[in-house]
């Protein structure tokens, strides 16, 4: 059931949310879904937008709740994504290796 709900959520995000965010060079990813609470993270230019909480409610939560009643709340996760952290770690490791060679 959980996988089915995640597929439905992704479909709604793909069809109704991503086109809107894409107009602003942004995107969205699902971080977690548990006990009716959908946690998402904005990506691209939407990740640091001052209107993120308004966009979350008026665009994301509205679309998802309208089509998937099992979603009772939508929460915006802020901070650095795992992908960004991995990239930073990789860059730092390369620099450390270069210094050690010198």
The CATH number for 10's domain is 3.30.300.130
Residue 80 to residues 42, 55, 84: CA-CA distances in angstroms? 10, 19, 6
Task: Look at 28-32, 36-40, 46-50 and tell me which has the smallest mean pLDDT.
Answer: 46-50
- The total domain count for the chain is 1
State yes or no: pLDDT of 33 exceeds 80.
yes
Residue 7's pLDDT is: 96
Tokens 């009772």, residue?
72
Range of the domain at 93: 2-101
Residue 83's pLDDT is: 72
Residue 78's pLDDT is: 84
**Position 84 confidence tier, pLDDT thresholds 50, 70, 90:** confident
Alpha-carbon distance of 19 to 77, in angstroms, equals: 20
State yes or no: pLDDT of 58 exceeds 80.
yes
């Amino acid at each position: 059931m959980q996988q089915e709900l995640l597929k439905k959520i992704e479909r709604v995000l793909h069809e109704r949310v991503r086109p809107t965010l894409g107009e602003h060079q942004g995107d969205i990813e699902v971080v977690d879904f548990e006990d009716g609470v959908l946690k998402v993270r904005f990506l691209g230019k939407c990740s640091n937008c001052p209107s993120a909480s308004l966009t979350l409610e008026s665009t994301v939560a509205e679309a998802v709740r309208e089509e998937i009643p099992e979603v009772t709340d939508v929460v915006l996760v802020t901070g650095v994504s795992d992908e960004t952290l991995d990239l930073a770690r990789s860059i730092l490791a390369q620099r450390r290796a270069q210094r050690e060679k010198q």
